[in-house]
């Protein structure tokens, strides 16, 4: 299977990378250690997902073997487990394919999002719209889909806030 061969290559390079990171000469070279650490962080989710995928495939093989046994109760349990494990295979394959997508060169860069209320619109409460938009943006990195599909770390911070309380109209006469 093409996917499994590619994943085995990635796992082998991951293990080699771990060996290099344990080498005292490389440990003393901060630049090289940083480069290896970045590669290690990139490959870790792929290797973890592959490990889970292999466990599921091995579980399916074991369940099929148990389903062919003599004990009726064990066959029923094996069939239930087999159905459960087979349902996980497409989900894990999808997750692995997402993890194998080429990395965008902009993933490591920072992004600044400025949220402002519209001018002259009939927005009933632009402040609540801005607040809910900012809240939604700050929760996105915590979603499981984001964590599985994107291999970067997000953090959010409010750099400044401003409330547009309009001053009362004042006139001065001289």
Q: How far is CA 56 from CA 19, 47, 144, in A?
A: 27, 14, 20
CA diameter of the chain: 106
- Whole-model pTM: value is 0.60
Per-residue pLDDT of the chain (174 residues; tens, 9 = 90+): 688 899 999 999 999 999 999 888 888 888 999 999 989 998 999 999 999 999 999 999 998 888 888 888 888 888 899 999 999 999 999 999 999 888 777 766 777 777 666 665 555 554 565 566 666 666 555 555 555 444 455 566 666 666 555 544 444 544
Residue 81: Cβ within 10 Å count? 17
């Amino acid at each position: 299977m093409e996917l499994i061969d590619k994943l085995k290559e990635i796992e082998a390079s991951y293990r080699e990378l771990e060996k290099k990171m344990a080498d005292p000469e490389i440990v003393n070279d901060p630049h090289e250690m940083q480069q290896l650490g970045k590669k290690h962080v990139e490959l870790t989710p792929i290797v973890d997902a592959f490990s889970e995928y292999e466990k599921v495939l091995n579980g399916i093989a074991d369940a099929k073997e148990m389903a062919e046994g003599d004990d009726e109760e064990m066959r029923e349990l094996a069939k239930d487990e087999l159905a459960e494990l087979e349902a996980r295979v497409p989900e894990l394959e999808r997750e692995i394919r997402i993890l194998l997508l080429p990395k965008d060169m902009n993933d490591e860069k920072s992004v600044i999002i400025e949220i402002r209320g519209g001018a002259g619109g009939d927005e009933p409460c632009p402040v609540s719209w801005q607040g809910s938009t900012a809240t939604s943006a700050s929760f996105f990195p915590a979603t499981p889909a984001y964590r599985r599909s994107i291999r970067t770390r997000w953090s959010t911070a409010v750099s400044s806030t401003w409330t547009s309380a309009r001053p009362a109209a004042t006139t001065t006469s001289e």
